[in-house]
Amino acid sequence: MSDFESDTMDEDDFDYSQEDEEQDFVFEPVIPEKDIKRSYDVEYKCYSPSDIEKIQNEEISHVCNILGCTKENASTLLRHFKWNKERLIESYMENEDAVKKEAGVIMDVKEPKLITVPGFSCDICCNDQDNLLTFALSCDHRFCADCYEHYLTDKIKEGESRYITCAENCNLIVDEKAIQLLVKPEIYQKYKILLLRAFVDDHKSLHWCPYPNCENAVKCLITKAQLDTIVPTVECSSGHRFCFGCGLKDHQPAICDVVKRWLKKCADDSETSNWIAANTKECVKCFSMIEKNGGCNHMTCRKCKHEFCWICLGPWADHGTSWYNCSRYEEKESVDARDAQTKSRQALERYLHYYNRYANHDQSAKLDKQLYEATEKKMEVMQKSSDFSWIQVQFLKSAVDVLLKSRATLMWTYALAYYLARNSNATALFEDNQRDLEMAVEALSGLLETQITPENAAELRQTVLDKTEYVNRRRQILLSDTAAGHLEKRWEYSF
């Protein structure tokens, strides 16, 4: 028997049960990319109008059971206390009469009715006809049904819903049952919608999606005090991304205060009127006027074929991986720095450096949206010119999605960079991450403008997939590091 044979075991001799006991294989569940929580993400939950109505009714029912009152009275009390159940119940138990008086509630079981009163004359329209239908709340301030309807309809059309008081202007609130009895169905439906909107507006942790015609709401437990260290980007169930703190579109990684200051500064025509309307630039070699018609910053003059960067007008050959400082502002020393005019000129030059790059990414994102609209046609061409299925060509759409998100991120990095004090290694690291993302974005933008042919389809697909993944990773690195800097109070601002 050979040495090899002496060291082997027959299959029957192998103890599989012992091996199974020693090796306990546990496979971790695969978490989709969209569900992975990162350091710059915040916890939030989306609600539809029906969800919000359900929550509202649950709150009302809870208070009804505790206080032993009608749903209408419970809802009036909750609106008075901005839907703070704990504060309502505590105050009610301490001084029931004071709370009811302040909230405009009389706890009775009287159903709202339209009745006729012999010899009645309406104080508003002076109508004293027989069989005139009238209405009054528990305060007994009675008016004819038509006048009460006009009064309530006008209030609702003006957008009021929380505190519609008696037509005599006493403190008593006209509840939902009374309004349903008096106004037309379409006005009542408007009233219900206003109540729903007021419910969300009164909750600090609930915000409506700010996008036009979107009826979704988002709940996020972020306070105003946290907005100095957190950028609470949320996304409603319709896919609209916005900042929960200020209601603007997603502006990561810049905090709300920086965004507010930057937008105010950009709105100052004294600094931007001379150049903000400029849509063309001269070729630095032959001085021909060139208009940018794509998202990529790699420009080629049609007349002299000179290749240059749209941002800094420098030779494009210098924008390789070894040297790319287009995103970084270099402070300039001047012997006349003490001169007020020189300082002012340098301050304007610094501002224009950051605004030019901010506006460029905003413009490029709009141009890339045109590319997004053409992506579906490009996907069809790629499907016909290759063996790829419709699912396999979805990488183009994914690439454009990542590109638009990354351009929005880069856009706001320049607003943040303008206010950052450049006195630490942290700022230099931020600018390095910004530069790396910028390079990756421009490379991906250029790839997406490449013409697809049967010969390059397979190679282009793989290249775009790799570059998309790289861009997404660079964006996550930048956002994660900046979010950590906010929480650690690493950044110093020069406001």
Confidence of residue 107 (pLDDT cuts 50, 70, 90): confident
Does residue 341 register a pLDDT over 60? Answer: no
- Residue 166 annotated as catalytic: no
Please write down the long-range contacts of 333-341, taking CB distance under 8 Å and 24 or more positions apart. Answer: none
Average pLDDT value for the chain: 82
Active-site choice (122, 144, 236, 296): 296
Q: 383 or 417, which is more confident? A: 417
pLDDT at 53: 92
Q: pLDDT for 345-372, tens place per residue?
A: 677 778 888 988 898 888 877 775 677 6
Residue 164, phi-psi category: left (phi > 0), alpha (psi -120 to 50), beta (remainder): beta
Does residue 256 register a pLDDT over 50? Answer: yes
pLDDT at 409: 95
pLDDT at 99: 93
Q: Which strand ranges, in their side-by-side order, compose the sheet holding 115-116?
A: 115-116, 133-135, 143-144
Does residue 12 register a pLDDT over 60? Answer: no
| Domain assignments of the chain as residue spans, ordered by start | 206-243, 256-487
Does residue 285 register a pLDDT over 60? Answer: yes
Q: Which residues lie closer than 8 Å to 355 by C-beta, 6 or more apart? A: 266, 272, 414, 418
- Phi/psi of residue 155, each to 5°? -60, -45
Q: pLDDT for 187-237, tens place per residue?
A: 999 999 999 999 999 988 999 999 998 999 999 999 989 999 999 999 999
The helix or strand, by DSSP H or E, that contains position 197, with its residue range, turns out to be: helix 185-202
Q: Which residues lie closer than 8 Å to 291 by C-beta, 6 or more apart? A: 279, 280
pLDDT at 80: 92
pLDDT at 2: 43
Does residue 480 register a pLDDT over 90? Answer: yes
Cα gap 79→195, rounded to integer Å: 9
Average pLDDT value for residue range 129-139: 88
Across 220-331, the runs of DSSP E, i.e. the strands, are 233-235, 241-243, 280-282, 289-291, 298-300, 307-309
Q: Is CATH 1.20.140.10 the right assignment for the domain spanning 256-487?
A: no
Confidence of residue 147 (pLDDT cuts 50, 70, 90): very high
pLDDT at 445: 86
